[in-house]
Amino acid sequence: MHIWWIDPFHGGSHAAVTTGYAAHSQHRLTLITLSQAGGWRWRMRGAALTLARMVSERHDVPDLIVTTDMLDLATFRALTRHRLGHVPMVIYFHENQLTYPLPPGRKRDDAFAWINLTGALVADAVIFNSEFHRRDFLTALPSLLRRYHDYHELQAVGQIAAKALVLPPGLDLPPLPPRPPRDPTAPPVIVWNARWEYDKQPQVVMAALEYLAAQGIDFRLIVTGEHIDPVADDLVAARQRWAAQTIHWGFAANRAAYLHLLQQADIVVSAAIQEFFGLAILEALACGCVPVLPARLNYPDLIPPEWYADCLYADDADLPTTLARTVARLPELAQRDWAALAEPYRWHNLAPRYDAVLADLAAPVS
């Protein structure tokens, strides 16, 4: 089967899913992409026009088209209807603009949420990256539809729900060497591998580190996530504050360097208020890190319920004491096979599931 995977915002986790699946699929994938350089707002507004032109210049026609929530699929489908009207089109939701949390003081632009809504309506199938995301999106739709004074069209929610599926993103990891046994006399190494942005709440993580220091708990620190503004005042202050404890601070030079950093860490921590899946946490789990995560978003679905009490905390105020307790129990918790939690998400295990689902979606209706 020939699939066009159209990625209008090709970078980060979006690109990881696109290229990871393409490398492991038994189907033939053609990647048609635009970079992230134009910004997500422009991609959602303008990518449909550009991509419609790009595909009109091609001589082949696929069996199936998969695109993402960053494309105005309704406009794209209208612009390509003469040539591609018979081709099933699927939309994959990495995130959505109905429930993505906004920074303080910013008002939501419902035009982007509406693009997500109409894209889901015209798609032949809607794939979410987690069950949490599917529920979150469908729950938010009625509020968007009721925002206007008449013709609420609430039946659209059921129409989208009826064709909604879940396929998690895959992990593209090389075979990792076994972790050497921990030196019980060495201070624990804490890694924070999220972007330094409001939706990942760096201030909450830094406050938890202050609590450890106030309690006299020694630790080492790895901060390896994207820094949107590397000279932001809070980032510079935190880097200076923890310089003595820091093993590494900044985006890793390459994938191998990033995985090497994760393999040096004992504990991975998150305080995110936006996480539709949690790929970075899975990467840390694959490297053997003990997780300390908020009991919200998709995180509970990544952890067995019998381990919730050991690694999930109730709210931001609970993070400092939970982190301290994890440090105290590290010799015990480190013995668990955290890497096994990531194994089902490796592409060699997940790609056959994608292949089967997409083949079914491409099959003509009898």
Regarding whether 218 and 125 lie in a shared domain, the answer is: no
Q: What digits encode the pLDDT tens for the residues 329-345?
A: 999 999 999 999 999 99
Regarding whether 132 and 255 lie in a shared domain, the answer is: no
Contacts 24+ apart (CB under 8 A), 238-247: 238/202, 238/206, 241/206, 242/209, 245/219, 245/220, 245/221, 246/220, 246/221, 246/222, 247/189, 247/220, 247/221, 247/222
Q: Is the pLDDT of residue 366 over 50?
A: no
Q: What digits encode the pLDDT tens for the residues 278-313?
A: 999 999 999 999 999 999 999 999 999 999 999 999
Alpha carbon 269 to chain centroid distance?
A: 16
Regarding whether 201 and 316 lie in a shared domain, the answer is: yes
Instruction: Print the domain residue range for 223.
Output: 189-345
Q: Average the pLDDT over each of 46-50, 68-72, 184-188 and give the range with the smallest value.
A: 184-188
Q: Is the pLDDT of residue 365 over 70?
A: no
Q: Give bridge partners of residue 246 from the DSSP assignment.
A: 221
Task: Tell me what pLDDT residue 328 has.
Answer: 97
If pLDDT is split at 50, 70 and 90, which confidence band does 230 have? confident
Mean pLDDT of 263-271: 97
Regarding whether 45 and 162 lie in a shared domain, the answer is: yes
Q: What digits encode the pLDDT tens for the residues 90-102?
A: 999 999 999 999 9
Number of independent structural domains in the chain = 2
Query: Is 176 inside any structural domain?
Result: no
Regarding whether 352 and 340 lie in a shared domain, the answer is: no
Regarding whether 338 and 350 lie in a shared domain, the answer is: no
